[in-house]
Amino acid sequence: MVLLRLIDDFLASIGRSVLNLCRAVGHLTLFVAVTLSHMVRTPIYPREIGAQMLRIGYYSLPVVGLTTLFTGGALALQIYAGGARFNAEAVVPSIVAIGMVRELGPVLGGLMVAGRVSASIAAEIGTMRVTEQIDALTTLSTNPYKYLVVPRVVAASVTLPMLVLVGDVIGVMGGYLVGVNRLGFSGVAYIQNTVDFLVLDDVVSGLAKAAVFGFIVAVMGCYHGYNSGRGAQGVGQATTNAVVTASILILAANYVLTEVFFSA
Amino acid sequence: MTPKIALRDIHKAFGSKHVLRGVDLEVARGESLVIIGGSGTGKSVTIKSILGLITPDKGEILIDGAPMGRDRDAFLAQFGMLFQGGALFDSLSVWQNVAFRLIRGRYKMTREAAREVAIEKLRRVGLSPDVADQFPAELSGGMQKRVGLARAIAAEPEIIFFDEPTTGLDPIMSGVINELIREIVVEMGATAMTITHDMTSVRAIADKVAMIHNGKVRWSGPVGQMETSGDPYLTQFITGSAEGPIEAVR
């Protein structure tokens, strides 16, 4: 009897978790669908989109720039050390370039922005929910999706590729600085090698990834903020959930997109 | 005559919690109705249902005899609301808060004109034009309430809701806000609906009082008959007695 009850409880807990997951996925899908539908219908708030581009894009530049600078430098050292095992030290510029542009630029940029922006969006919108500011928007004939969600999603999807492009350049420069100053590469040859090796598709695929990551970052921030629980604890939980889910979704989407772009 | 607002048999449940169990209410044009009742009895849910922020499970809400049509913006343009905590947008300055509706949407005016209107409304609620460029976080609780009031009346709505307008204010500031509400409602000829626990507010603001208890309207009538109603629930509420039919522990 006891054993049966234990098995029963165990199965019930699995069932509950699955049901909760399905409910969350359904909820999120609806949220995304409503957001997308509002993107293509007036009114659009250009002033809000501009403000969010400045906040999400411009103010994230130092974080993304520093991240890619150090990563580019470390990558150069690693590839040099690894390449030395089979006398292929000369591949440093090309591998740094391809690694940064295709993979590390978008992923690390996306993750850093997820930490910075998802959290702040979730906290802001969550606080607005808790203090009835979202209800106030509705009573002032302003749709909260249009005024709060759409500008953030558009701004993040547009500015993250720009950030990543800048990050790519800084990352390559990080590799260049280490390559030239520590590893004895010639500056001109390093740049030449990088430019010759990269093709347009490498850059474009990285930027396309960045646009998707930007979308994920903003949607997760808005979704968790919009559905935030009551009080300080609810907002804190929403912030944590936003960062965690955005980071995991970025890594998962990165794998899927890499398969799509490069598996052929 | 068709009432300005009519609620017919409104029901609303959140999960297993049945908050509204058949609310019937009518407010005539230009009348000021105050809804009283204990915490968690469904007063806020009633107002949010009228505004369409919450969809009732059952029942009918009629404004000027008609339900909310497809044009939600036009419907909402008739309303102004003063929220309990003010609900001012903290990323916007005071004048942008007040003029929020005026600089957006279908009937938007230029920013300069909207700023003028905002300053005039701020003056109407007793605030000087200097506060126009400040941010809500820089203001005291009483001033935030006034800004909220200015925002609620900025677009000259026909119906104004006040959610606990005096909560968190000292007695003198409460008196000032009550007086302002009364003056503004009379002056604009608006229909007003107020939720409050504060009996001083009730006496200052109301033409008519409705008491909600257990998700239903327990008593409603002119404010003058409130004291002599003979209803034990209402009497307990207005005298603030711990003894009576309403359980003190909720």
- Crossing angle (nearest 10°) for helices B111-124 and B141-153: 120
CB atoms within 10 A of CB A99: 20
Per CB-CB distance under 8 Å, the chain A contacts of B81 are: 136, 139
**Do residues B28 and B63 lie in contact, with contact meaning Cβ atoms separated by under 8 Å?**
no
Residue A205 zone, left/alpha/beta (φ > 0; ψ -120 to 50; rest): alpha
B79, B89, B105 ranked by CB distance to A139: nearest: B79
What confidence tens digit (pLDDT) does each residue in B80-118 have? 999 988 899 988 999 999 999 888 877 788 889 999 999
Mark yes or no for CB contact B88/A142 under 8 Å.
no
pLDDT at B201 over 60: yes
Q: Which amino acid is at B27?
A: V
Residue B103 per-residue DSSP state? T
**Do residues A141 and B77 lie in contact, with contact meaning Cβ atoms separated by under 8 Å?**
yes
Mark yes or no for CB contact A138/B84 under 8 Å.
no
Mark yes or no for CB contact A132/B48 under 8 Å.
no
Q: What is the DSSP string of A212-234?
A: HHHHHHHHHHHHHHHT--SHHHH
Q: How far is B235 from chain A (nearest CA, A)?
A: 32
Q: Which run of H or of E encompasses B216?
A: strand B216-222
What confidence tens digit (pLDDT) does each residue in B144-186 have? 988 998 999 888 888 999 998 888 888 888 888 898 888 888 8
ipTM for the predicted complex comes to 0.85
Distance CA A246, CA A187 (A): 38
User: What's residue A210's pLDDT?
Assistant: 96
B73, B83, B104 ranked by CB distance to A136: nearest: B83
**Do residues A51 and A152 lie in contact, with contact meaning Cβ atoms separated by under 8 Å?**
no
Interface of B with A in 133-152 (CB under 8 A): 151
What confidence tens digit (pLDDT) does each residue in A175-202 have? 999 999 999 889 899 999 998 888 999 9
Mark yes or no for CB contact B88/A135 under 8 Å.
no
Per CB-CB distance under 8 Å, the chain B contacts of A137 are: 89
Distance CA B176, CA B179 (A): 5
How many A-B residue pairs are in contact by the CB < 8 A criterion? 50
B73, B85, B151 ranked by CB distance to A141: nearest: B73
Q: How far is A160 from chain B (nearest CA, A)?
A: 23
| pLDDT (average), residues B121-127 | 87
pLDDT at B5 over 80: yes
Distance CA B178, CA B182 (A): 6
CB neighbours of A43 closer than 8 A, spacing ≥ 6?
Answer: A146, B104, B105
User: What's residue B249's pLDDT?
Assistant: 52
| Chain B touched by A131 (CB under 8 Å) | yes
Listed ranges A204-218, B3-17, B229-243; the one with the highest mean pLDDT: A204-218
Distance CA A36, CA A42 (A): 12
| Chain A touched by B84 (CB under 8 Å) | yes
Per CB-CB distance under 8 Å, the chain A contacts of B98 are: none
Mark yes or no for CB contact B87/A142 under 8 Å.
no
**For A140, phi and psi rounded to 5 degrees?**
-95, 25
What confidence tens digit (pLDDT) does each residue in A108-125 have? 999 999 999 999 999 999
- Model confidence band, residue B40 (pLDDT cutoffs 50, 70, 90): confident
Which residues of chain A, if any, have pLDDT below 70?
264
Closest residue in B to A125 (Cα–Cα): B89
User: What's residue B226's pLDDT?
Assistant: 84
A43, A135, A141 ranked by CB distance to B101: nearest: A141
**Interface mutation vs chain A, best among B47, B88, B89, B98, most A CBs within 10 Å:** B89
Q: How far is A135 from chain B (nearest CA, A)?
A: 7
Per CB-CB distance under 8 Å, the chain A contacts of B193 are: none
